[in-house]
Structure 1
């Protein structure tokens, strides 16, 4: 076991102290999608609940979250946890809307936004969202980097630096053993891709091992996701709480298989070069030597400089 990675995992422990009652907790916006970075955060969060004996009584994703159901089940002592990640801001408005609704509709409940990286493309959106959050007196925001923490200071007086929830998975998965002579270039292809990816690709031989999450996912994954969406939406339409719970249990079990599959892809390589934050974090959890390159707004370097640069198998791109 790597002591630095154990220390990073332990840095998540203070979150427990923020929860008012470990038997009265709601967890919203878990990822019912196939961004594997989000799935790693999700499974780290679930591992955190398990390790700290936190009894989450309501878990909902964006497709089956119903404010009326929440209002019917919430107590004055309920702590609301909102999924962490890199989607705080105006690049992913559907997730920001959930957070803003919680802040608006539950002013008397403690709300904790699990470790996030924030980015707003438009200042107007930032100011509107900050004003909403400021109206809530008991909202606690965890930031994965210092830039986000500085931005969060406009949203709340309760701001904390914290590593990503995926670090809770350290020690639950196998780590790199032996060598294969292979190298993986794990590069973004989505909304946050930039010239960094183009520059890396331009320097690689034609037969290089280049992947993103979508290249590891299967047609079966897409079908299961589509069925899960339908099940969640139908459960929401008819107010079937039991079906929503079943949907979550099924999705959790299925995505455990995805995480294990992705781990095997990573472990087949001696080094990973990545522009994805969770390409870097996952490599660290598996103790695979890795080189971190930035995304379009500096998310990766700011994270690595704060949390992971001291690991002897991590290299920061200059």
Structure 2
């Protein structure tokens, strides 16, 4: 661990100690942290990120909001992805018979993000006597030798857990789960961020662009640069944003950082993005959005939950002219359609979790 990382961890621990003094008695993180939860029903919400991707932090926030709203008689304990290794034993020691483990969802099931996948398997092994709920996820195990090796290990561990509920946030993942985890309860649910709803704004101006430049991008570098050049030439006010902000975000700072981004989106006339959460953030803020597909099915099938929203347009083959046409159509669109409520997507989810209903 570098000095910088040590300093960040120390600052976060001091913040925890001030905010939750009863969890940090005796001054040692984790020593007596969970004793106050003994004999209480708990939801352990884990795989909580600490990186810079606001999409994942929005999933964590929405998952916590869902747990607090739908399970008010349960205590909610958030455990960061790397902290579950050191806290698993202490959490099992104070187990209540009705305790559950919620693993936050996202696009990290598979061999693309191995730390998240390996941690998920650790949780399934260490919490074998708990009901485990994998919140809506996208799975992608590559056809490479490495990918298939990871899938073989995942099948062994997932299938061995006696009380595992899996949620797929797209049809491809649903079919994948049914094939590879045939004895598990599997349901389809949209991304948890749709559980959130933000205020809309009437006055909007300018175009916002958010395009990936990583391994999930469908656009080649030259195509991305050309598209950005043409957009800047066509429209007067054009700026960019990103959902990966280049600095570490904790569970204490995530809402502040998310609100800053959501405020920016609320002020935009149109957003162009190939990020799933760029699209979903537009949906919850009522922002017109042109969506470009990603390298896999994640964005295309994520759009299926939102296809009836007239303010969101998908461009599957992102020729520059098609993107410009979609922008112009949305600028002319004066639809004030109400954003679907959380009940539209999640009304039956609590019952499914408690009863493992089909």
Fold conserved (TM > 0.5)? Answer: yes
SS of the counterpart of 1:27?
Answer: strand
Contact kept? 1:115, 1:165, Cα under 8 Å: yes
Contact kept? 1:196, 1:294, Cα under 8 Å: no
Q: CA RMSD in A?
A: 2.2
TM-score between both structures, scaled by the size of structure 2: 0.68
Which of 110, 116, 132 aligns to 1:89? It is: 110
Q: 1:150 to 1:198 in 2, by over 3 A?
A: farther
Match of 2:226 in 1: 202
TM-score between both structures, scaled by the size of structure 1: 0.77
Match of 1:211 in 2: 241
For 1:273 and 1:188, the matched residues in 2 are separated by 11
Contact kept? 2:45, 2:102, Cα under 8 Å: yes
Q: 1:178 to 1:197 in 2, by over 3 A?
A: farther
Give yes or no for the alignment of 1:174 onto 2:199. yes
Which of 63, 85, 90 aligns to 1:45? It is: 63
Q: 1:54 to 1:192 in 2, by over 3 A?
A: farther
Between 1 and 2, higher relative CO (CA 8 Å, sep ≥ 6) is seen in 1
Contact kept? 1:144, 1:163, Cα under 8 Å: yes
SS of the counterpart of 2:293?
Answer: coil
Match of 2:75 in 1: 56
For 1:85 and 1:311, the matched residues in 2 are separated by 22
Contact kept? 1:189, 1:212, Cα under 8 Å: no
Contact kept? 1:143, 1:161, Cα under 8 Å: yes
Contact kept? 1:197, 1:275, Cα under 8 Å: no
Deviation at 1:205, TM superposition (A): 2.3
Match of 1:14 in 2: none
Aligned positions of 1:4-23 closer than 5 A: 23=41
Q: Which protein is bigger by CA-based radius of gyration?
A: 2
Match of 2:33 in 1: none
Deviation at 1:38, TM superposition (A): 0.7
For residues 127-160 of structure 1, the C-alpha deviation after alignment (integer angstroms, 9 at most, x for no partner) is: 2211211111210110000100111121252100
SS of the counterpart of 2:203?
Answer: coil
Q: Provide structure 2 residue ranges, at least 5 long, that are not aligned to the other structure.
A: 1-39, 233-237, 317-358
Deviation at 1:49, TM superposition (A): 2.2
Aligned positions of 1:178-257 closer than 5 A: 178-180=203-205, 182-195=206-219, 198-205=222-229, 207=232, 208-214=238-244, 217=245, 221-222=247-248, 225=249, 251-257=250-256
Which of 26, 33, 41 aligns to 2:44? It is: 26
Give yes or no for the alignment of 1:79 onto 2:94. no
Match of 1:258 in 2: 257
Give yes or no for the alignment of 1:114 onto 2:139. no
Deviation at 1:34, TM superposition (A): 1.6
For 1:257 and 1:197, the matched residues in 2 are separated by 32
SS of the counterpart of 1:97?
Answer: helix
Match of 2:283 in 1: 284
Q: Provide structure 1 residue ranges, at least 5 long, that are not aligned to the other structure.
A: 1-21, 226-250
Contact kept? 2:45, 2:64, Cα under 8 Å: no
Give yes or no for the alignment of 1:137 onto 2:162. yes
Contact kept? 2:165, 2:186, Cα under 8 Å: yes
Deviation at 1:194, TM superposition (A): 3.4
Which of 143, 164, 169 aligns to 2:191? It is: 164
SS of the counterpart of 1:163?
Answer: coil
Contact kept? 1:40, 1:259, Cα under 8 Å: yes
Q: 1:160 to 1:197 in 2, by over 3 A?
A: farther
For 2:281 and 2:155, the matched residues in 1 are separated by 32
SS of the counterpart of 1:315?
Answer: strand
